[in-house]
Structure 1
Amino acid sequence: MEDSFIIDKLKNPETKNYGFNLMLQNYQERVYWHVRKMVIVHEDADDITQNTFMKAWNNLEKFRGESGLFTWLYRIATNECLNFLKKKNRWKMFSMSNYSDFLEDHLTNSDMISGEEIEMKLQKALLKLPDKQRLVFNLKYFDEMKFEEIAEVTQTSIGALKASYHHAVKKIENILNED
């Protein structure tokens, strides 16, 4: 379904609810998996996805259409993820010294990825990256987004994104070669 059709429905007070349901149908799953790759835990991803769409609903009048609807939703979801991860690292709610340790343990027991050893190693290596590098790597490698699209989502320069991606790839290679 075309974004323009959904946006028209969202902008019309009489069809706003219908437009929102269309937006959910089109983008909820993609947003969920984007979030899930960042936070790993299903329940957290579910909450963040819900918060993303609540923020979108509450800020529909601020959407100017300068970017695509998908890009706007990804930007909201990305900011929600990064804020969530900052809070988790700051609170240190777990007896482990690092939230990444918790995520790695959760990942080992998760049905999110296959049991193949290389996939598990890659996922664990990703957890060792700084949040923003992991985000850029996920968007480029898994979501196959172009740097221009990632720049819109993250509101970061293309040069900085390329550098982050390059550093992420090098760190992943080093981590995988250690094992």
Structure 2
Amino acid sequence: MTPPVLITEEDLQRQLADPATRRGAFASVVRLYSRQIYWQIRRMVYTHEDADDLVQNTFIKAWEAIEGFRGEAKLSTWLYRIAMYEALNFLKKRRSEEAYRVAPSEEADAEYLLSRLQADEYFDADEAEERLQRALLSLPPKQQLVFRLRYYDEMPYDQMAQLTGTSEGALKASYHHAYKKILELLGQED
């Protein structure tokens, strides 16, 4: 069996810039980043079906915008940004749809997402993970995002800054506040 060929970021960007090699290079991008993008989105929307749809939307948008990609940021950062906005727009749309049925509130949003998580056939986490998700959903959206990127994806602050357009210092403060609030909330449940 032939070992897989490793490709550098620079080679991949060069192939994406060339119309003759773009399609094959983009197929490599999808193979390389699908899993990370899926989990980034899944942690935001909580269900497999929604995450799966949003991953497809992310790569469709990336393909449509590939000619405009200039390589100023890493490919992964560019894809994460597209995925983040796809997930945030999905959640915003879902909230507005829910607003027509019931009075919207952050607590109702959190309960809705938790119920979707619990009903998801692919969710197999224990009670501790469910408690963490409940605590996470109680945070403001920006703190939720920063916590997810740092805690789950172990994303460095400089990459988060590129992704969110927020200073590293502000991101560190947001993560610190989120971490403290989650610890407090988890401690209150005991």
Q: TM-score, normalised by structure 1?
A: 0.91
Contact in 2 for aligned 1:88/1:99 (Cα 8 Å): no
Shift of 1:105: 1.2
Q: Quote the sequence identity (%).
A: 46
Contact in 1 for aligned 2:110/2:134 (Cα 8 Å): no
- Whole-angstrom CA distance in 2 between matches of 1:88 and 1:162: 29
Q: Which residue of 1 is the match for residue 3 of structure 2?
A: none
Distance 1:27 1:88, change over 3 A: same
- Whole-angstrom CA distance in 1 between matches of 2:103 and 2:55: 26
Say whether residues 1:50 and 2:60 are aligned partners: no
Contact in 2 for aligned 1:52/1:77 (Cα 8 Å): yes
Q: CA RMSD in A?
A: 1.8
- Whole-angstrom CA distance in 2 between matches of 1:87 and 1:100: 15
Say whether residues 1:156 and 2:166 are aligned partners: yes
Q: Which residue of 1 is the match for residue 154 of structure 2?
A: 144
Q: How does 1:1-179 map to 2 (within 5 A)?
A: 1-92=7-98, 97=104, 98-110=108-120, 112-179=122-189
Shift of 1:87: 1.8
Contact in 2 for aligned 1:52/1:73 (Cα 8 Å): yes
Structure 1, unaligned runs of 5 or more: none
- Whole-angstrom CA distance in 2 between matches of 1:53 and 1:78: 12
Q: TM-score, normalised by structure 2?
A: 0.86
Q: Which amino acid aligns with 1:105?
A: S
Shift of 1:85: 1.4
- Whole-angstrom CA distance in 1 between matches of 2:130 and 2:103: 21
Structure with larger Rg: 2
* Equivalenced residues, count: 179
